[in-house]
Structure 1
Amino acid sequence: MNIAVLFTGGKDSVFAVHVLREKGLSVKVLISIVPSYEYSMLYHKPYPQVLMLQAYSMGIPLETATVVNPERELTVLDEVLSRCVRRYGVSALASGAVLSRFQRERFEKIALKHGLEAIHPNWGIDQKTYLRTLTRYGIRFIIQSITTMGLPHSMLGRVLSMEDVERILVLSEKYGFNPSFEGGEAETLVVDAPLFKYRLECEGSVEERSEYEAFFNIKKCWLTPKN
């Protein structure tokens, strides 16, 4: 089975790639849809240069497309997926969806249109232990944006430790946000993982828009050899 994976560069899509590879499946291409606007219900808004470095580090081809109109989000994915079917002979589309039926149903609709199997390797994973699972697995990530009450802005832009993860779990109980950020409370960016041949380094600055909204704006990123 040749698989195209919807890829954002965040923890969920990177973990999905690893799970698929561990099952012996062939990840032929990563697909990244990049919204040009601020908020999207369907897609994470990644940095294109970061996506390219992550894909290079894993040795997997990357296909990207920019969407400028929210009403064309599925249309753009449809066009890219059609290209990937021709170029890479993919027979399945995978996503990193964990809890969002909104995302899952729309991705499955597009997959069905192209006669592809839809796969969601992270679906239904326990929300309270997911961040622990990722950290123990060796996936290292930073928080790139925060849009909720209760997450400290001091966590932006630095690689989270297990101590940070435990703090997030405590705060999620106190403030009521989803501990794996499936409600859009935060977005993540993976800087290292078992499949990465190089580690991603990022420099940037924190932009605080309100008490509940802040971003780590990346100014520079590069790959460095792993020990």
Structure 2
Amino acid sequence: MKLGILFSGGKDSYLALQYASGENEISCLLTLESKKEDSWMFHTPAIEWTKLQAEALGLNHLTKETSGIKEEELGDLKSIIESAVSKHSIEGIVTGALASVYQSTRIQKICNELNLWCFNPLWQMPQNVLLQELISNNIESIITGVAAEPFDASWLGRPIDSNCIDNLLTLESSHRINPAGEGGEIESFVINAPLFTKSISVTKSQKYYSNFSGRLEIQEAFLQ
């Protein structure tokens, strides 16, 4: 089946892509670039650098700017999916949704309207299992956003490796965070993975942080 991937550049959308690619043809990536950092539907940190990931993956990449206004952004999502159907003849959409009923039901509704299959390969996966899947599958990602106590600026740009995962699981117990960031506590950006033909090197970045909330702005990056 020919599929399009709703792709934010983060660990979840990449892992969903890798799972879906096993028995399906991945035709394209679909990325929504929100004008609002606190979009209800879409990941925003480092979203402009998904172009490098698409190149590393060797996949067609459709992008569309969206207002980020709750519910209105769904019209932009439907529009980009319609473009993927028209340009690449996709038969289904893959998402990295893990537990968000708000996101998954709205994407499913659009897919139903367009007569497309909606595939959520990570749905209800335990968050500790998802994090371990990153290590098992040699998926290298960095933290590009934080939005919860007790995260400080030192977390921005940090690789999500075994030590980082141990720390996240400890915070799950002590501060009741979602260790995989399902509640928006952390955002990520994949810099290397099995389906990449080249890795991404981030050579210049800037941290913006205040009151347990921050983001890493990637200013320069290239494939190597």
Distance in 2, matches of 1:27 and 1:186, equals 27
- The number of residues matched between the two structures is 222
2:60 aligned with 1:61: yes
| Equivalent position SS for 1:55 | helix
Q: What is the match of residue 215 of structure 1?
A: 215
User: Which range moves more in the overlay, 53-62 or 153-162?
Assistant: 153-162
1:94 Cα shift? Answer: 1.0
Give the Cα separation in 2 of the matches to 1:47 and 1:151: 19
1:77 equivalent in alignment to 2:77: yes
Q: How do 1:147-166 and structure 2 match up within 5 A?
A: 147-166=147-166
Report Cα offsets for 1:60-79 as digits up to 9, x if no partner. Answer: 11000001251421101111
Cα separation, partners in 2 of 1:47 and 1:154, compared to 1, 3 Å: closer
Q: Which amino acid aligns with 1:136?
A: S
Do the aligned partners of 1:9 and 1:46 also contact (CA within 8 Å) in 2? no
Partner of 2:108: 108
Matched residue SS, 1:179: coil
Paired residues of 2:39 and 2:68 also in contact (CA < 8 A)? no
Offset at residue 37 of structure 1 (A): 1.6
The answer for the alignment partner of 1:90 in structure 2 is 90
The two structures, once aligned, show a CA RMSD in angstroms of: 1.2
Which stretch of the first structure deviates more once superposed, 69-78 or 187-196? Answer: 69-78
State how far apart, in whole Å, the 2-side matches of 1:104 and 1:97 are. Answer: 6
Give TM-score, length-normalised by structure 2. 0.95
Partners in 1 of 2:64 and 2:46 — Cα distance? Answer: 12
Correspondence list, 1:1-227, <5 A: 1-22=1-22, 24-68=23-67, 70=69, 71-202=71-202, 203-210=204-211, 212-224=212-224
Which amino acid in the other structure matches residue 90 of structure 1?
I
Whether contact under 8 Å (2:9, 2:189) holds in the other structure is yes
Q: Which runs of 5+ in 2 are unaligned?
A: none
Question: Which sections of structure 1, spanning at least 5 residues, go unmatched?
Answer: none
| Other structure's SS at 2:136 match | helix
Q: Check the 8 A contact 1:30/1:63 in 2, yes or no.
A: yes
1-structure distance, mates of 2:46, 2:179: 24
What is the CA distance between 1:160 and its match in structure 2? 2.4
What secondary structure is seen at the aligned counterpart in 1 of 2:99? Answer: coil
| Identity among equivalent pairs (%) | 27
Structure 2 contact 45–144 (Cα < 8 Å) conserved:
no
| Misfit runs of 4+, over 6 Å | none
TM-score, L = length of structure 1: 0.94
Instruction: Map Cα deviations across residues 145-191 of structure 1 (whole Å, 9 max, x no partner).
Output: 10001234312113222111111111121001101100111110011
AA matched with 1:127 = Q
Query: Following the alignment from structure 2 to structure 1, what is the Cα–Cα distance between the partners of residues 104 and 95?
Result: 8
Deviations 1:53-111 (A, max 9, x none): 00010111100000125142110111111111111111111100011111100000111
User: 1:91/1:213 Cα in 2 relative to 1: closer, same or farther (>3 Å)?
Assistant: same
Equivalent-residue separation in structure 2 for 1:69 and 1:117 (angstroms):
25
